[in-house]
Structure 1
Amino acid sequence: MPALHQNLNAFLGAAVLGVIGAAGMFLVEHYRQERMRNAMAKDLARLEREMAKIKLDLQQLQAQKSERPIRPKRTHKSNTKKANSIISNTTDDYLSAANLDSSDLEFYDVTDEENTEPENGSPSDLDLILNHLDVKLNTGTIEDIEEALHTLEDLCLENPGNFELLYRIGKAHHKIADASDDKDFVNLRLTKGIEACESALSIAPENSEVHKWFAVLIGSKSDLVSIQERIKYGHTFKKHVDIAISINPGDYSLHHMLGRFDFEVAGLKWYEKKVASAFFGEPPTATYEEACSHLLAAEKLAPFEWKDNKLMIAKCKIAMGEYEEAVGWLEKAINSHGTSLDEKVDIEINTLLEKYR
């Protein structure tokens, strides 16, 4: 949980701070062009080996068919065995259909029809793979995330139009971008991530994770664009976080994102709003009370000690002139058992305590 906590602080901070202030292409063909040549070469070689093995096995089967009884159909247990074999494979091999089948290749009477559908309630092979990749995306190193991204891209070739793959591709690009200080590299990764999530939105507009990661990427990209674009990105960010919360109101990270966003918007000076309206368009609007409401919701829903969220609640209370409550939240933050990704959080908490205690 601490590792997940740190990752949340990292991506939420990067997505929201600076959001004040999109053109998608379907990625399947893009990834096909980038990776198909090498993937096809691997598959052709593997296919030749598998065909030779199949030919030999069929010859043996014909010779033995009259001597052995008909074997029963394969049950879902063998499918589970196959899925577990795939999950344990952490190499960057191209996960083609041939490779998925070759790990558990068995032959039965040719008149039998094999039941490969998962039983009701049983996860599919793809679900198990995604669960494995989610661990890498949430708690892994940059190398783990890069590896997960390559696997997701390969899976897109076999599962075109799968939004579960597309939004995770966007998530991976964001996490890789967040670890770099190279603006050109960051811009490229965020752009690719936005394209992936836009494609996912066109397929699954009712999915909260798709809206959330699109908003996160837009928020981070706003640091790299003009003031006029930043204001447009701010409206886009809030729109998609609002939609995500309406779909999944129990997601604490969404409430924290919207609370931080509202806090930044509420902090705009009146003359900053006037200048923005005159030259760049009407900026988003929000109040400290709205920000505090969302942060309190995040505090209630989060299953861990969230130091950074407590700090944000205290900052809202200070902005509203409720200093005694602010000190209470600062003390809760400094005494919390959670860890922070950045020492600056603890420094800010102690500075505010000295000032308002």
Structure 2
Amino acid sequence: MIRVPCRAQFRTFSLIVNIALRRIHRQATQPNPINNLLMLSLPLTIPEWPFLKKQNSVYYKYWNNNTDEIIDYADDLYKNQKYIEVYENLNRLKYMNNPEILWRIARALYKLSCTPDLPSSISNLMILEAVDVVNHALSVGNDNANVHKWTAIILDCKYNMEGIKAKINGLETIRYHITKAVELDETQTALYHMLGKLAYDLASLNWFQRKLANVLFEEPPSGSYEVAYDCFLKAEQSTPGFYVGNLVMLGKSAIKLGRLQQAKYFLQLASHYIPMTEEDKKLKLEAKTLSHTLDELNKDILPKAEDELQ
């Protein structure tokens, strides 16, 4: 059987609740020294709160607009090969028309497009996005060496995607941007490597590709292994061991020029290079393979040369 409270019991309960509420109100309105000390210890403005100063916080990522801080943080992420984080931190600012931000976004997209086992469809979309970014960068920072440098790299990827005709047709455009970057900043070692790579690729065009170049250009772009070797050597002398790929290209250029001892020297250096990325590992393996091939070649050549001397 359910008991229903009487009216007197309701009045008693109501009185108790009212007394409790009055006590709560009185305590809230009276000064409390402990509460005052706590309030004084709290920061007065939100920007001083520690969680906003942490660069890995979502607040920092999406609401910090200090360009210098963002760029420094992005560069630290890039050094640690955290390319997707670089993209996330910079991409929201691409409409600020800051070329320093734009070429870094393109660089991150390029690195992401080189991710092992990444589907080519996604890699191609990243390069196409990077093309839009560098075009934007050129429109607001045509006097920036890094803008031209990364424009050359991104366009080379785009032309490779589009086929041999596009690649040959775009050679002069790539040469222009690399040359422009060198004019704006002669201290960048990587630019001389890029000039060497362009000269090497031009010298390596096969018969069909040369015929196609003759059709596309009144004066087809030209390159030589000698020029390529000199560019790679200049880069290496400027900053020794800056890139294992430069050592490999020095070895390959020396082979093309018949300088087998020089080729062996540079390929041995590349074979002992400490790889930092997947690309470095592949280039180191290529250097070891070429070096082994040279050893086998010397085994065949030296005995024959000794027989001829006798």
Q: Do Structure 1 and Structure 2 share a fold, with TM-score over 0.5?
A: yes
Q: In 2, Cα distance between the equivalents of 1:85 and 1:304? A: 40
Offset at residue 213 of structure 1 (A): 0.9
**3-state secondary structure, aligned to 1:341:** helix
Paired amino acid for 1:185: I
Q: Which has the higher helix share?
A: 2
Equivalent positions of 1:11-30 (< 5 A) are none
* Residues 1:195 and 2:147 aligned together: no
Q: In 1, Cα distance between the equivalents of 2:60 and 2:52? A: 12
**3-state secondary structure, aligned to 1:220:** helix
Match of 2:56 among 83, 86, 90: 90
Offset at residue 227 of structure 1 (A): 2.4
Match of 1:126 among 63, 67, 70: 67
Percent sequence identity over aligned pairs: 26
Equivalent positions of 1:1-357 (< 5 A) are 88-93=54-59, 99-100=63-64, 125-140=66-81, 144-156=82-94, 160-179=96-115, 181-278=118-215, 283-302=220-239, 304=241, 306-334=243-271, 336-339=272-275, 340-342=280-282, 343-356=285-298
Offset at residue 356 of structure 1 (A): 4.1
Paired amino acid for 1:88: K
Offset at residue 93 of structure 1 (A): 4.3
Q: Which has the higher contact order (CA 8 A, sep 6+)?
A: 1
Partners of 1:295 and 1:313 within 8 A in 2: yes
Partners of 1:305 and 1:338 within 8 A in 2: no
| Residues 227 and 87 of structure 1: CA distance in aligned 2, closer, same or farther (over 3 Å) | farther
Q: In 2, Cα distance between the equivalents of 1:233 and 1:148? A: 29
**3-state secondary structure, aligned to 1:329:** helix
What RMSD, in angstroms, separates the aligned Cα atoms of the two structures?
2.9
Number of paired residues? 247
Offset at residue 167 of structure 1 (A): 1.2
Q: In 2, Cα distance between the equivalents of 1:337 and 1:201? A: 35
Offset at residue 85 of structure 1 (A): 7.2
Q: In 1, Cα distance between the equivalents of 2:58 and 2:73? A: 14
Q: In 1, Cα distance between the equivalents of 2:199 and 2:247? A: 16
> Which is greater in Rg?
2
| Residues 328 and 200 of structure 1: CA distance in aligned 2, closer, same or farther (over 3 Å) | same
Offset at residue 280 of structure 1 (A): 7.8
**Unaligned 5+ runs, structure 1:** 1-80, 102-124
Q: In 2, Cα distance between the equivalents of 1:87 and 1:222? A: 42
Offset at residue 190 of structure 1 (A): 0.5
Offset at residue 309 of structure 1 (A): 1.8
Q: In 1, Cα distance between the equivalents of 2:217 and 2:170? A: 12
